């Protein structure tokens, strides 16, 4: 039986709780109760598929496997940390900060790199929201990583198997994400318009 009662909680959502791995602090385990594990099962299937296809885990967390208990199931993956070993801010929290023009330029470049990565490798997000994206700020660049909400939610996820459909879905979700969430949030909280 898997006992997580002593594990350090680093995040909690509607369906699952994210713990720092007790023996490897560079990893995390996202655990769901079996009765409420739809997202976890979908992501396990999707991560296994990405691994089989040889997709590099560059802007999404590395996948290490499933964790199972008598009444729970989870995903073991890379814990995304900044260069100081701390949890990075998500996009919503990052955009609340006043950014210099250079920080803003680096942020937009990081978002652009993430979009290019998703399209290049047909990595289909199902839940593209600001809390699922982490911002790792460095002196000369900013990396934006998608850490949750991966894989198509349809019963038959054709967008995962047919790259043209996948890219179409990624572009549509990305445009909606930028228009309704990121750009308005940025304009409200920054003195500078996004590029």
Residue 70 lies inside a defined structural domain of this protein: yes
Q: Is 172 found in the same domain as 105?
A: yes
Q: Is 142 found in the same domain as 69?
A: no
- Cα angle at 80 between 16 and 9, to 5 degrees? 40
pLDDT, residue 142, reads 97
pLDDT band at 13 (very low <50, low <70, confident <90, very high): confident
Q: Please count the structural domains in the chain.
A: 2
pLDDT band at 194 (very low <50, low <70, confident <90, very high): very low
Q: Is 143 found in the same domain as 68?
A: no
Q: Which domain holds residue 55?
A: 9-78
What is the pLDDT of the chain when averaged over all its residues?
90
pLDDT band at 193 (very low <50, low <70, confident <90, very high): very low
pLDDT, residue 32, reads 95
Q: Is 96 found in the same domain as 48?
A: no
Global confidence as pTM: 0.89
Residue 84 lies inside a defined structural domain of this protein: no
Which of 17, 43, 78 is the endpoint of a domain? 78
Q: Is 42 found in the same domain as 133?
A: no
**pLDDT tens, 160-185?**
888 899 999 999 999 999 987 777 76
Which of 52, 78, 104 is the endpoint of a domain? 78
Residue 45 has pLDDT above 80, yes or no: yes
Q: Is 29 found in the same domain as 74?
A: yes
pLDDT, residue 185, reads 66
Burial 63-92 (b: 16+ CB within 10 A, else e): bbeebeeeebbbbbbbbbbeeeeeebbbbb
pLDDT band at 6 (very low <50, low <70, confident <90, very high): confident
**pLDDT tens, 97-106?**
888 999 989 9
- Please state the rounded mean pLDDT for residues 127-132: 91
Residue 158 lies inside a defined structural domain of this protein: yes
Residue 194 lies inside a defined structural domain of this protein: no
Task: Assign residue 55 the CATH number of its domain.
Answer: 3.30.200.20
């Amino acid at each position: 039986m898997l006992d997580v009662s002593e594990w350090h909680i680093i995040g909690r959502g509607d369906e699952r709780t994210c713990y720092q791995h007790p023996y490897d602090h560079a990893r995390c385990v996202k655990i769901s109760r079996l009765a409420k594990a739809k997202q976890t099962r979908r992501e396990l299937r999707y991560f296994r598929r990405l691994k089989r296809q040889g997709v590099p885990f560059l802007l999404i967390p590395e996948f290490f496997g499933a964790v199972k208990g008598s009444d729970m199931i989870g995903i073991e993956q890379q814990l995304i940390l900044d260069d100081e070993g701390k949890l990075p801010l998500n996009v919503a929290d990052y955009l609340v900060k006043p950014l210099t023009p250079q920080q803003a330029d680096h942020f937009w470049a990081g978002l652009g790199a993430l979009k290019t990565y998703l399209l290049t490798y047909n990595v289909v997000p199902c839940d593209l929201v600001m809390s699922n994206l982490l911002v790792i700020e460095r002196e000369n660049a900013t990396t934006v990583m998608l850490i949750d909400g991966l894989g198509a939610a349809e019963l038959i996820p054709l967008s995962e198997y047919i790259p043209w459909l996948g890219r179409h879905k990624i572009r549509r979700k990305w445009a909606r994400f930028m228009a309704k969430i990121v750009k308005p949030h940025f304009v409200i909280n920054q003195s500078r318009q996004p590029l």
